Amino acid sequence: MTAGCERQVTVQAKWTAVSSTPVRPGKMYPLSVLDHAMAAHTLHMIFYYRPAPSTLTREKLYESLSDVLSHYPAVTGRLVRDGADKWAVKCNDAGVRMHDAKVALTLDEWFKSATAEDERDLTYWEPMVEDPSIWSPFYIQITEFKDNAFAIGLSLPHMHADPACAALVIKAWGDAHRRSYIVNPPFFHPPGLLPRPQPNLSTQTAKFLANKSQMAAAASTTTTRCRMSSATFRFSEEAVKSCFSQMHSADDDCTKTTPFDILAALFWLSISSSSSGGPAAALTLCVEFRKSMHAPLPYGFFGNALHFSKVEADLTSGWDSVAAAINRHLAGLEEEAYWSGIEWLNGNAQKPFQMYGPELTFIKMDHLLAYGAVFEKEGGGGKPVHVACRLGGVEGEGVVIVMPAAEEGMGRTVAVTLPEEAMEKLCKDDNILRHGPTIMFRG
C-alpha cells in the first residue's frame, strides 16, 4: 500500500470458476519429485493489458476461462495425500477461486506510483488450510483500472507449477478466448521426471543440493529475519545494448555472452559490492530445462522443471569476466546434472527446504512465453504491456529473476527481492542506473 494513501485496489466480488466440461471421476494427478521440492514457496504472476475493446468483457473472460479449465483438471482439483504420503491432485472439478477488483488509477498512473505492496494487491492468496481437500490451490484476480485497462493476477503453490508452466495457463486462456487452438497444450505426465532405477549421486549437483539443504536447515533456526524489499528494473533494448557496449574484452567467452549473462553479472557485482559481508564468490543459478533434455519435454509439460546449481566467479576480475563465467556455466550444464538433482531430491528431501535461498539466487526466465498471452488480436487485450513475477517464501540473501520485456529483442525485466538495506543501495547504484533502466514497484 502506498505510504500515507488509502488502499488503491478494491475487491468487488468473490466466486469460484469451474470448467465447462466435467472431468472423469476418480482421476488423480500425482506431484513429481521436483514439485515436492518447491513446497516451501508460492508463485504469483501478473499480466497487465491496455484498455480493451468493448467485446472484451468480464462475462466473456469468465466464459473462456471455463473453456480453458476443461484442459487443466489439475488446476481445478484439490490436494490430497496418496498411499505413499505424497501430494497428489484429486481432479474433482472443485474449481478456481476468483476475485473481481477495481483500481482507482489509470494503468500509467499505476506504473508510475504503485509500490511492491500495491502490486501484491493485484493477486490474492490464502495459505493452505488444515483440510486441503476444501482449499483452492489456484487463485485468479481480474482487476480493472480507471481507464478500463486490466490485470490478471495468478497465485498458486510453487509445487503445482514453475513460472514457465504458470505463464502457459494464462496463454492458453488467451488462446481459448480468441477461439483459437491452444498452441502449447498442457502435458500431464509426472513420470517423465521419475528417478532412474540406478541413481547417480556422485555429481556436483548432488553435493550442491546436500550442502544447500544443510544451509537451509541452519537458516531456519535463526530467530531474526531480515525485512525483505522488492523492486522491478525494466531494461529497454537500448539499455541492454548500453550494457553490451561496456563489454570491451576480445576474449571468445565474452563475445558469446547473452543479455541474461550480462544483466546477471551486473546485478551480482552490484549486490555484492553493497553487501556488508563483502564480495561473494558464488551464487545459486536456477534454470528451466524442458527443452534441454536429450528427449525434450513439451513446452506444456505441467509442473516444475527447474534445476539449481552453483556458479563461481572471481568478482574482482571485472564485469566481462563474470558475465563470461556465467555463460560458461550455462553452456556446461548437461542432462546428467538434471537427473542427478531429481535423484538426490527423491532420496533426501523428506522435508522440503528453501530452494530460493538462503544464498543469493538468480533465476533465468528470459525465454518465458508470457507475452504470448493474447486475448484480442488487436488493441487492448492483445499482447501484455508488462508481466510481473513474484515468489513467496524468499528469505536470506535474496532472489533476482531475469524475464523478457514487452518489446521484442534484447529488452529484459529484472525483478529483485533483497534485504531492505541492500535494496536501498541497489536502487542508487550508479553502475546500474547509468544504463537507464526504469525502476518500478519499489517497497
Task: Judge whether residue 275 has pLDDT over 60.
Answer: no
Same structural domain, 227 and 294: yes
Are residues 348 and 414 part of one domain? Answer: yes
- Domain boundary at 193, 218, 237, which? 193
354 and 228 Cβ atoms separated by less than 8 Å: no
Q: Is residue 210 part of a domain?
A: yes
pTM here?
Answer: 0.95
Average pLDDT over every residue of 26-41: 94
pLDDT for residue 279: 55
The pLDDT of residue 249 is 57
pLDDT tier at 349, thresholds 50, 70, 90: low
Domain closes at, from 143, 159, 193 = 193
Pair (87, 218) in one structural domain = no
Is it the case that residue 211 has pLDDT exceeding 50? yes
> Which H/E stretch holds residue 174?
helix 163-177
Domain-embedded: residue 198 = no
pLDDT in tens, 367-406: 999 999 999 887 666 899 999 999 999 989 999 999 999 9
**CA–CA separation, 156 and 124 (whole Å):** 9
CATH value at residue 85: 3.30.559.10
Placement of cell 569476466 in the chain: 321
384 in any annotated domain: no
Residue 55's pLDDT is: 67
Q: Are residues 171 and 291 in the same domain?
A: no
Confidence band (pLDDT; 50, 70, 90) for 270?
Answer: very high
* Listed residues 144, 161, 193: the one ending a domain: 193
Q: How many Å apart are CA 183 and CA 180, to the nearest integer?
A: 8
Confidence of residue 274 (pLDDT cuts 50, 70, 90): low
Asked if the structure places residue 376 within a domain, the reply is no
Is the domain of 221 the same as that of 134?
A: no
- For the chain, the domain total comes to 2
Q: Which three cell numbers stand for residue 179?
A: 477461439
Clarify whether residues 187 and 270 are in a common domain. no
State whether 341 and 246 are in the same domain: yes
Q: Establish if 1 belongs to a structural domain.
A: no
Residue bearing the bigger pLDDT, 214 or 232: 232
Residue 260 lies in a domain: yes
Judgement on whether residues 172 and 259 belong to the same structural domain of the protein: no
Claim to verify: residue 252 and residue 162 sit in the same structural domain: no
In whole numbers, what is the pLDDT of the chain averaged over residues?
Answer: 91
Structural domain span for residue 106: 9-193
Query: Residue 66 domain-assigned?
Result: yes
- DSSP, res 53: P
Same domain for 325 and 238, yes or no, is: yes
Angle at 391 between CA 384 and CA 8, to 5 degrees: 60
Quick check: is 70 in a domain?
yes
Q: How far is CA 334 from CA 313, 341, 347, 356, in A?
A: 20, 11, 21, 21
CA distance 321 to 251: 9
In this structure, the answer to whether residues 356 and 242 fall within a common structural domain is yes
Looking at the structure, tell me whether residues 115 and 171 fall in a common domain. yes
